[in-house]
Amino acid sequence: MDGEARVADQSLTYREKSLYGARMTRSWTRIHAHLGAEPGPLTFDMVRRATENQLQEFDDLDWKEQLPQPPRDGRWNELAKDVAAMANTRGGLLVFGVQDKTIELVGVPVGANTEQYHQWVRNHVHPYLPDLDMFELSDGDKTVLVVDVPASESAPHLVYGTAARDREQQAAVVPYRDNDHTAWMAEHQIERAYRERFSRIGLAEQEIQRNLNFTVQTITAQSTTPAAWFVAVSRPQRPLPRGAFELDRDQARRVLTRAKERTTRLLTQSRVPAALHGMGDTLLNPRPGLRRWVCSTLELPHNREILVELHYDGTVVAAISQWLRGKDDEPAEATPLAVSDQLLRSCCYDVIALIQEHQRELRLDCTQQLTVNLMSLHGLRPLEASTSFWGHVGMDSVPDYSRRPHHTQPVHAVLSPAGSDAEASSVADLVHRDLLAQFGI
């Protein structure tokens, strides 16, 4: 926390912190999604409404009636086990003060010993979880204790304990959340979890490049019209573990529909419709892929060529042709491939909207890495950007001073979890400017 934030935090009264969750770092939770709330701090009123609506437990939400208790008779430290299980899956909330069977908000005593709880986690969970947060929320009558567990890049986390008969012997297990209960990883699951940890640390950029290369191979094989392509790959810094979650068709359709609506809202001044609008009914009919949902117009005899993939682990792939299919005057080999400034901007907004809506649907609470590039897939051809300073149809032109590069450099950006419309516009405009700048515009 920087100096200004620390001063602001200290200036709040205990009641203000309780009501507004001033220390809350998680901005998008299952409670937010259930209530249809925008990203932001969790409040007591949100917890109350979720319990009134009988929101059931899942892998990222665990209701607890009583405050954490110290381990007795050699049992595992339950708090440490629950925290490790969520960190090993995708993060989430433990909310103490809610009966898990009836979903009744019963409350807990004010002034929970959070320092002791942190100590239990430090002693029993390895490796260490640095971003674990605990705080109370209250309406002045009842109080709940919220434990915010981040999706950890250091997973798997082991829980250590001792047996009742032999306190000198330590044992370790690896818990994880399976829907609404905690289970224990088998040996092959632990092995895979370690492989994924090493992949996250050492192969993050390679994973983005692997998706990028596979996408280029796909559209090169299936696309027949020479065109410049906008290709984007986004990947969460802490992807969902394999097998932890499967996006169903309705959820994928919801992501696509909301992304189209979001882009429409953000591009109110644009005279070029967002590329997702050109997908028609394809947008509402995602097809299954390898642990992903795929929307593609590459097989269709008309419309713009578009490929969109929503991966179960949070990866998003988008490839959009800058050339309308069906034109008779296909460019000769020496003719530059057209890149429309307005369409390029729409593509940037489309991909940011897809990423953010996918993040929200999966409740991913980690930053997202984005790589975008423009490329020619059918031989080495120059790219030519046209732009309009008047904003009228038919006024696009290629500035005399512009460059016609055969290659552009990839543009990189980072998106915070479940960001706002303001952040979406800011990042989309930045990516658009960086791509266009390579034409000297």
| Most trustworthy range by pLDDT among 22-26, 282-286, 421-425, 426-430 | 426-430
- Domain extent listing, the chain: 3-199, 206-437
pLDDT of 331 above 60: no
The residue-averaged pLDDT of 382-401 equals: 72
pLDDT of residue 87: 92
Rounded to the nearest integer, the mean pLDDT of the chain is: 82
Q: 183-192 pLDDT, tens per residue?
A: 999 999 999 8
The full 3-state SS of 132-168, as one line of letters, equals CEEEEEECCCCEEEEEEECCCCCCCCEEEEECCCCCC
- Domain 3-199 CATH class label: alpha beta
Which pTM was predicted? 0.68
pLDDT of residue 13: 36
Strand partners, 230: 320, 374
pLDDT of 19 above 50: no
Rg of the chain in Å (alpha carbons) = 25
Contact 94, 149 (CB under 8 A): yes
Distances 20 to 29, 35, 45, 218, 370 between C-alpha atoms, Å? 15, 16, 9, 48, 32
Q: 124-140 pLDDT, tens per residue?
A: 899 888 788 999 999 99
Query: How many DSSP H helices and E strands does the chain contain?
Result: 11, 20
Q: Band of the pLDDT at 386, cuts 50, 70, 90?
A: confident
Contact 94, 82 (CB under 8 A): yes
Distances 398 to 72, 304, 331, 386, 387 between C-alpha atoms, Å? 75, 22, 16, 4, 6
pLDDT of residue 272: 62
CA nearest neighbour of 178 among 60, 36, 49, 47 = 60
Q: Band of the pLDDT at 329, cuts 50, 70, 90?
A: low
pLDDT of 253 above 60: yes
**Percent of the chain whose pLDDT exceeds 90:** 42
